[in-house]
């Protein structure tokens, strides 16, 4: 299952870490979108 989360860049790594702990993410990709960061989380 892939889900997208938009967050301010400063929060991106924190969000990835929290989600990895909670949901065992397989991969996480970060794309910058004009000040916002799109996290692409591939949840196993």
Q: 15 in helix, strand or coil?
A: helix
pLDDT of residue 29: 67
pLDDT band of 27, cuts 50, 70, 90: low
**Is-contact 14 37, C-beta < 8 A?**
no
Question: Which residue did the predictor score with more confidence, 12 or 33?
Answer: 12
Does this model's pTM top 0.75? no
Number of structural domains (the chain) is: 1
pLDDT of residue 42: 74
pLDDT of residue 17: 74
Beta bridge partners of 2: 42
**Is-contact 31 38, C-beta < 8 A?**
yes
pLDDT of residue 40: 75
By residue range, what is the domain housing residue 17?
Answer: 2-43
């Amino acid at each position: 299952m892939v889900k997208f989360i938009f967050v301010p860049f400063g929060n991106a790594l924190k969000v990835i870490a929290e989600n990895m702990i909670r949901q065992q993410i397989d991969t996480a990709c970060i794309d910058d979108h004009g000040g916002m960061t799109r996290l692409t989380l591939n949840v196993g």
